[in-house]
Amino acid sequence: MDDNRFAELLGNAAISVWGDMPRDIQEALFETAMRGHDDLRHQFARLLHDRHPRTEHPPRPA
């Protein structure tokens, strides 16, 4: 089995338990995954919110 297959398995697992993760862990994973993929940010955020609506957080105070 190659590294890409393990990454796929881990990614699928993370998506399936996303709503159970603390916000700081969600943000760290999301930001790490999106590094260098700004064009996919909105699409990936939408996928996560569609699967786990309770992860929709209010905006952080400025």
Looking at the domain assignment, is residue 31 inside a domain? yes
Looking at the domain assignment, is residue 59 inside a domain? no
Interval 7-53: pLDDT, tens: 999 999 999 999 899 989 999 999 999 999 999 999 999 999 888 87
pTM score, whole prediction:
0.74
Looking at the domain assignment, is residue 61 inside a domain? no
CA-CA-CA-CA torsion sign (42, 45, 51, 57): negative
47 is in which domain, residue-wise?
19-52
Contact 16, 45 (CB under 8 A): no
Token output for 28 = 């760290």
Total tally of structural domains belonging to the chain: 1
Looking at the domain assignment, is residue 24 inside a domain? yes
Looking at the domain assignment, is residue 34 inside a domain? yes
